[in-house]
A and B are shown apart, each in its own frame.
Chain A
């Protein structure tokens, strides 16, 4: 079975500091990994995704993530955060069941940026 664990439910950081949001997955087969962001009172928006190829994936708003197969991780990073990055971040992995794609989400990490 595939599952996703986000190790931190909340991460507070100061503005302009670097941040890393951790995500680990469990899977016995090839995976496709995603990070979504949810701004307050909005739906989810894709930040970035890993399908294949380079293990370092760059996304929108200066975020990047690195796929590490040996550690089964897909941590999200940003070198310098802004107040506008305050949001909830979800890691997700695709699960293919009976020919249909299903996204399995982690529990979410709430990122709070303090001035």
Chain B
């Protein structure tokens, strides 16, 4: 099983700042089968990024993903008020599909 470790656990930032979230895999994620999701309280996760760097439909370009192998990054270039949420990475190259434990982006 591929274990995904996200860091930091919590990121305290102000609107307009840049957020950099990390996801590290215990073994290489094949074909960059890595996704990022955003989740707000009481809501289902929302797909932001798939294939490590492709934005899902309707996702603003302030969200970007990068990385390969075992190290992946989600960057939010300028935080908007609606971006404060919990972010999860997920790998779908191995079985079982696994998720990271999440990074909470909170208002400083």
A and B physically associate: no
Q: Which residues of A contact B (CB under 8 A)?
A: none
Taking Cβ atoms with an 8 Å cutoff, the residues of B that contact A are none
